[in-house]
Each structure stands twice: as structure tokens, then as C-alpha cells.
């Protein structure tokens, strides 16, 4: 993976995130690719991977900084509030593995 451009790496990271991380709403699992959130998340997380500053706290800050509109925009909640703990753990594992491949 070392010889690919950053845009290709972000696309690859977004695909991984989109297939493996989901929002849980009333026990329904909406994968981030279906919610069109995988790319924005990958774009915000990728710089951490390249600068080797990946920490759980920093990832949580990114998740908290992405507002998700509910009810047609009547309410906004941070993405972190919609991800089950297991998805947050999976996201960290996925990011650490992706970083190793860079």
C-alpha cells in the first residue's frame, strides 16, 4: 500500500470503514457506506494514520465532531453517540491495521 496516492488510500480506508462500521438505531444497523458517512470519516481520520498520531481519544474527538441530523434536521447528535461500543473497537482495530499497511 506504500506506493498508492493519498486519495486512493482514503478511498480504500473509506471502503473498509463503510463495510465494517455501522450506526445502531432501534437495533437497526445502518452501515456508514449506506449512510454516506464513510468518506467524510476516512478523510478526517487519514491524516492521523500518516502522522502516526492515532489514539483512541483523537478518534473519539473526530467521531464527536461529525454531527448527524435526525428527524429531518430537527435534532443533531454526534456520530459517536450512534456507534455501539463494539463498532468503536472495530474502527480502532481497522485503523491500526490500515496504519500498519501504510
Q: How far apart are CA 59 and CA 41, in angstroms?
A: 10
**Cβ density class 86-100: b for 16+ within 10 Å, e for less:** ebbebbeebbeebbe
Q: What is the pLDDT of residues 57-83, one digit of tens each?
A: 999 999 999 999 999 999 999 999 999
In contact, 49 and 102? CB cutoff 8 Å: yes
In sequence order, what are the beta bridge partners of 69? 76
The pTM for the full model equals 0.92
Q: What is the pLDDT of residues 18-56, one digit of tens each?
A: 999 999 999 999 999 999 999 999 999 999 999 988 999
Q: How far apart are CA 26 and CA 84, in angstroms?
A: 12
Amino acid at each position: 500500500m506504500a506506493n498508492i496516492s493519498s486519495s486512493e488510500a482514503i478511498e480504500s480506508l473509506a471502503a473498509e470503514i463503510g463495510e465494517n462500521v455501522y450506526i445502531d438505531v432501534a437495533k437497526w444497523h445502518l452501515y456508514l457506506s449506506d449512510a454516506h458517512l464513510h468518506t467524510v470519516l476516512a478523510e478526517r481520520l487519514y491524516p492521523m494514520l500518516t502522522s502516526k498520531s492515532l489514539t483512541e481519544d483523537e478518534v473519539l474527538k473526530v467521531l464527536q465532531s461529525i454531527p448527524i441530523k435526525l428527524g429531518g434536521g430537527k435534532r443533531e447528535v454526534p456520530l459517536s453517540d450512534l456507534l455501539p461500543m463494539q463498532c468503536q473497537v472495530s474502527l480502532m482495530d481497522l485503523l491500526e491495521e490500515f496504519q500498519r499497511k501504510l
